Amino acid sequence: MSEIVEPAVPGLFVADEHGARVLGSKCEACGTPYFPKVPVCHNPACPGSRMEPCGFGGRGVVWSYSVANFAPPAPHKYDKPFRPYAIGVVDLASGLRLVGQIVDPPEAVTVGAAVELVIEPLYHEGGKTFTTWKFKLV
């Protein structure tokens, strides 16, 4: 059975020979990273916005996390029956503090744990698998 895999929202992330990355931008003038992309730098102290596309992936550390003990309302989509999951706030070594689900069971997650960015299924609908960025304990 061949599976059709699509991103939950197109253009936000990619997984290729360079690994999994979310596709944001970075201001070349002041170094501020953004995800999703922004057209101009939001830093009031920036000498002059110079935005360039930038991917963020690799490893990071869990700054903190919470658990979704109940299914969030729409527009969230999930496979039923709902299973609680951890939501991590991860400080990536590449300079971005990023929010995302953690694929491991919530009981296994701790503040300070090392994780890496992955692209994983989020939900199934109409015979397709929809993916998003998540974190995985390493």
Partner 1 sequence: MQEVAVLGVGLHRFGKSGDAIVGNKSVTELCRHAVDMALSDAGISWRQVQAVAAASSRFSGGKGWGLNGNDVVEDLGSTGVPVYNLSAGCAAGGNAFNVGYSLVAGGVHDLVLVVGGEVMPKGMIQTSGTEEVTDPEFLRQRCVGMPGPAFWATLARRRMHEFGTTEEQMAKVTVKARQCSVGNPFARFQKAVSLEEVMNSPYVSNPLRLFEICPVSNGAAATILCSAQKARQFTGKPVWVASSAVATLGFDDTLPRNLAGPVPNGPSFHTEVMTAVRKAFERAGVGPRELSFVEMQDNTCYYELAYPEEWGLCEPGEAQYLLEAGETLPTGRMPINPSGGFVSFGEATTAMGVFQIVEATWQLRGQSGGRQVPGAKLGLAQTNGLGGNATAAILKR
What does the binding site for partner 1 look like in residue numbers (CB under 8 A)? Answer: 8-9, 11-12, 22, 24, 32-36, 42-45, 56, 63-78, 84-85, 87, 89, 91-92, 95-101, 106, 111-112, 122, 132-133
3-state secondary structure of 121: strand
| Least CB distance to Zn ion at residue 23 (A) | 18
**Please, which residue, 17 or 117, has the CB nearer to partner 1?**
117
CB under 8 Å to 87, separation ≥6 — which residues?
A: 65, 66, 67, 68, 99, 100, 101, 102
Neighbours of 122 (CB within 10 A): 20
**Please, which residue, 1 or 138, has the CB nearer to partner 1?**
138
